[in-house]
Amino acid sequence: MIDFNPILEDIEPSKEEVVKVRGLADKLKDIINKNANKLNINAEAVLLGSVAKNTWLSNGNSEEGKGLDIDVFIKFPLTTSLDDLKSQGLELAHKCVDEADGTYEERYASHPYLTGFIEGYEVDLVPCYDITDSSELKSAVDRTLLHTLFVVDNLGAEQTREVRLLKRFMKMVGTYGSEFKVGGFSGYLCELLVIRYGSFLKVLEGAIEEWKPGYRIDLMNFGTGAQFKDPLIVVDPTDQNRNVSAALTLQKMAEFRVAAGNFLENPKKSYFYPKTLKYDRETLRDAFKERKTHSVLLAFHTPNIPADALHPQIQKTEKSLVKILENEDFKVMGSDSWSDEENTGIILLEMNTWKLTPFRKYSGPTVWDDDNTTRFLKKHPQSWVEGERWFTLTRREYQDAESLIQETLTPGGIRNLRVGKHLKKKLLEKYNLVDVLDLLIAEDADEDVMKFLYSYLHKNELLTRD
């Protein structure tokens, strides 16, 4: 096995960083508690999340994408009304950002909270109820308290490094994150897996030896796992009726299994670092050309909704477009979608069939069914009998996929499409349907789009390292 220490040096926060982050957290807590006292608000700030659990990845290495979130929650007694919790909680949060000289965004998870940008860190300031058991739960964010407590109590000091290795590995192979865009493993899930299996390597071995769709982990032996139909079931040790792994897709569960197998078979340090994807316009163009399919990109402006609402909408629309095309006999070899989560969404459709013959053979009622036969023959006088059934040729409405896609995106046609209302509005406003080969001729082809196309052509790219 490889030596994990050099990796840990890169991903464990340095002493200086720990001091800085914990110092900032303490400072913010103090500000909140002081103000609560001053304003006579019965509330107390508490540090939760990966900083509290000591499982956060160093912010020094910016390659992993998103930076560190510091979770400072503002606990209210259970007797507080929800209105008071919201107003007083936000008041304290605003004052805290002000006094700490930060900026903020208002965000929403069951109720509004603030994300402050303070001293280079992102700090979530979240009002919550001070519960000790999931039966007292009043708001989904309250769970964070219980989760943090459980991990602090049950994860050995030595195991925090194992969690960090697992989270980092997950990030680098593309299976980390329970947001809809990924559908992968949450941080809490990684922690529970290390508690269950003992170490990073044992989690990988466990996944390979034991996991199958429907596999159950039940640390507290609640015996309630059978109620969940998800690919992986990890009963929440703080709530017997919740599956921590509910957001994990079969896809990401399978990908993790494959990556784990690849790593164990040939362990390499590079699994813990970003993979450099090598692509260029010409190579991409040649690859699409060689497939002799007809690939188009549908590009559109994204609506201003949270990423966790946007991605499922785009994916749903992608699947629905594929279905509409296949229902009309246009064979789709593959599809994918992408968004920068700010302005642009893209759906890729790679078609095996782009043009069709003008007629479609269509089956009607049996000859014994008089009423339906009469109706069918009235509509299709040129029918014939095959076996006991009427058949006819109908002229296709769409002889090429492009006209079908375009018709689907008109006000009249879009009711056939499964599409959320926000995205629907944007699609009806404007879209761009462009041939991938044409796009890859342009010398200023967008870098993100090229990366997306490369990932489409090399779907398993991140699961392995050479």
Interacting residues with a second copy (CB under 8 A):
211-213, 231, 250-251, 253-255, 257-258, 290-293, 333-334, 352-353, 356-359, 361, 366-368, 383-389, 393, 458-460, 463
CA atoms lying within 13 Å on the CB side of residue 265: 11
Q: C-beta of 329: minimal distance to a second copy in Å?
A: 8
By C-beta, is 64 or 255 nearer to a second copy?
255
By C-beta, is 48 or 253 nearer to a second copy?
253
By C-beta, is 40 or 357 nearer to a second copy?
357
Q: C-beta of 458: minimal distance to a second copy in Å?
A: 8
Strands 294-301 and 332-339: unpaired
Determine whether the annotation assigns residue 135 to a binding site.
no
| 15 Cβ neighbours under 8 A, 6+ residues apart | none
By C-beta, is 101 or 370 nearer to a second copy?
370
Determine whether the annotation assigns residue 50 to a binding site.
yes
Determine whether the annotation assigns residue 124 to a binding site.
yes
Cα 212 to Cα 322: distance, rounded to the nearest angstrom: 29
By C-beta, is 222 or 384 nearer to a second copy?
384
Long-range interactions of 35-39: CB distance < 8 A, separation 24+ = 35/92, 35/95, 35/96, 35/99, 36/74, 36/92, 39/88, 39/91, 39/92
Q: C-beta of 21: minimal distance to a second copy in Å?
A: 37
Determine whether the annotation assigns residue 400 to a binding site.
no
Q: C-beta of 388: minimal distance to a second copy in Å?
A: 4
Burial of 358 (0-12, 13-18, 19+ CB in 10 A): exposed
By C-beta, is 102 or 177 nearer to a second copy?
177
Burial of 261 (0-12, 13-18, 19+ CB in 10 A): middle
Q: C-beta of 349: minimal distance to a second copy in Å?
A: 14
Question: Residue 284 corresponds to which tokens in the numbers above?
Answer: 């991409």
By C-beta, is 377 or 428 nearer to a second copy?
377
Determine whether the annotation assigns residue 71 to a binding site.
yes
Q: C-beta of 433: minimal distance to a second copy in Å?
A: 20
Cα 233 to Cα 416: distance, rounded to the nearest angstrom: 35
Helix (H, G, I), strand (E, B) or coil at 219: coil
Determine whether the annotation assigns residue 95 to a binding site.
no
Instruction: Write out the DSSP string of 17-42.
Output: HHHHHHHHHHHHHHHHHHHHHHHT--
Cα 230 to Cα 109: distance, rounded to the nearest angstrom: 23
Determine whether the annotation assigns residue 176 to a binding site.
yes
Helix (H, G, I), strand (E, B) or coil at 304: coil
Sign of CA dihedral 23, 29, 35, 37: negative
Q: C-beta of 359: minimal distance to a second copy in Å?
A: 6
Task: Could you list the residues known to form a binding site for Mg(2+), using ranges.
Answer: 69, 71, 124
**Positions at the binding site:** 50, 53, 69, 71, 124, 147, 167, 176
Cite the annotated binding site for CTP by residue number. Answer: 50, 53, 147, 167, 176
Residue ranges at the known binding site for ATP: 50, 53, 147, 167, 176
